[in-house]
Amino acid sequence: MTPLQAIGWRWTPSTLDPAWAGLIAAHPQARPARISEQHRSGYLVAETVDAAYRAESLPEWQRAGSYRKGEITPESRPAVGDWVLIEGEAPNALRIVALLPRFSAIKRGAAGEHYKQQVIAANIDTVFVVCGLDADFNPRRIERYLMLVGGSGVQPVIVLTKSDKDGADVEAAAHELRALDVPVHAVNAKDRDSVAVLAPWLGEGQSIVLVGSSGAGKSTLTNTLLGIEKMKTGAVRDSDDRGRHTTTHRALIALPSGACLIDTPGMRELKPTGEEDVAESFADIEALAAQCKFNDCKHQKEPGCAVRAAVERGEVDAQRVANFLKLSEEVAGAANKLATRLAQKSDTKVQNKSMCKRIDEKYGRH
């Protein structure tokens, strides 16, 4: 592999996206690189697996994103996994001149009261949803992760770690996740032979992101895939099997298999952006809903509700249905906030024209 291929570049001039080709042609002195780390103070970019260097970013990326007219939105700023064009030489004279359009992105609603989107990782082929077979195991949280991944163009794979622990019930966990219709693999994250089952998604040029709560075993899995102790790991609390944040920021790591992996900090909040399609992660419930007597059935107390009938027959988990309703409500709420934000970007121009008109009427043409 070439140095760029080792960090995920897999295109030739004939297969390059026209938008990418246009930007490359517009910057003939620039060359591709990949965002390997993102910090508050800026970005590190990589051209090889061996080193990453700080690069000066565009001025608009150095400010917090905004949904105001004329400003760049938070999710439009570069994130780990993005491909950019750079000029200059490492280590102290690199500068980013353009961001190449993403072919995929995993996003969530950022923590806090105000609406904002946050990109978890960009240009990803597969997401490993990592969950421990201990007190960390939570099918409802896994469903939430899958909702965020749905529609992103990324293949989800559920990785159940700690299969070697006393009390780990792989069959019971697989049974609870049977309705999700995605690959599920139970592994001992410390055992290289055990994690070999993930090889189909770790081929040359593939990019993978690990998501999951703190203590789920993401960093341990990363170290095993690397074959070295690169990522810091920590013990979980005996009281609840929850871990502390050993990964403090997202980082792109090249694996011996030729794939690239992004380990992420554990996320306590998994808020939707409003762009998700809940039905994609709950196809079984949507199919039942289509059989309800009323098209606007809320699956509560309405007569002829096929969803409730399936729950009563034991065909669908009642908690899964409750989570479906909860997530549907959250996505609808986020979609309303997103629509308001987008309207604000459009209304700013109208408001400015109205203000100018009032000034002209009061003080004359300015």
DSSP state letters, 119-131:
EEEES-SEEEEEE
Range scoring the smallest mean pLDDT among 65-69, 116-120, 196-200, 337-341: 65-69
User: Average pLDDT in the 188-199 region?
Assistant: 96
Confidence of residue 230 (pLDDT cuts 50, 70, 90): low
Long-range contacts for 136-141 (Cβ within 8 Å, ≥24 apart)? 136/212, 136/213, 136/215, 136/216, 136/236, 136/241, 136/242, 137/173, 139/176, 139/177, 139/319, 139/320, 140/319, 140/320, 140/323, 141/213, 141/270
For 43, the 3-state DSSP assignment is strand
Beta strands 184-186 and 207-211 are unpaired
> Tens of pLDDT along 130-157?
999 998 899 999 999 999 998 788 999 9
**In this predicted structure, what is the pLDDT of residue 248?**
46
pLDDT at 269 over 90: no
Please report, rounded to a whole number, the percentage of residues in the chain having pLDDT higher than 90.
61
With contact defined as beta carbons under 8 Å apart, do 94 and 45 qualify?
A: yes
pLDDT at 325 over 90: yes
**In this predicted structure, what is the pLDDT of residue 243?**
45
Task: For residue 42, count CB atoms less than 10 angstroms from its CB and return exposed for 0-12, middle for 13-18, buried for 19 or more.
Answer: middle
Most confident of 222-231, 247-256, 354-363: 222-231
**In this predicted structure, what is the pLDDT of residue 131?**
95
Confidence of residue 363 (pLDDT cuts 50, 70, 90): very low
**In this predicted structure, what is the pLDDT of residue 266?**
65
> Tens of pLDDT along 76-106?
899 999 999 999 999 999 999 999 999 999 9
Q: How many Å apart are CA 24 and CA 44, to the nearest integer?
A: 20
> Tens of pLDDT along 48-66?
988 899 999 888 887 777 7
pLDDT at 245 over 70: no
With contact defined as beta carbons under 8 Å apart, do 221 and 190 qualify?
A: no
Dihedral sign from CA coordinates of 307, 312, 316, 317? positive
User: Average pLDDT in the 211-226 region?
Assistant: 91
**In this predicted structure, what is the pLDDT of residue 249?**
55
What is the phi/psi pair of residue 262, to 5°? Answer: -115, 120
> Tens of pLDDT along 196-211?
999 999 999 899 999 9
pLDDT at 358 over 70: no
Confidence of residue 357 (pLDDT cuts 50, 70, 90): low
Nearest CA among 50, 35, 60 for reference residue 251: 35
Q: What is the mean pLDDT of the chain?
A: 86
* Both structure tokens of 225: 């895939």
**In this predicted structure, what is the pLDDT of residue 355?**
46
**In this predicted structure, what is the pLDDT of residue 341?**
83
**In this predicted structure, what is the pLDDT of residue 233?**
52
pLDDT at 259 over 90: yes
**In this predicted structure, what is the pLDDT of residue 229?**
64
Pick the more confident residue, 293 or 264: 293
**In this predicted structure, what is the pLDDT of residue 71?**
80
pLDDT at 44 over 50: yes
| Cβ-proximal residues to 318 (8 Å cutoff; 6+ apart), any chain | 311
Q: How many Å apart are CA 146 and CA 135, to the nearest integer?
A: 20
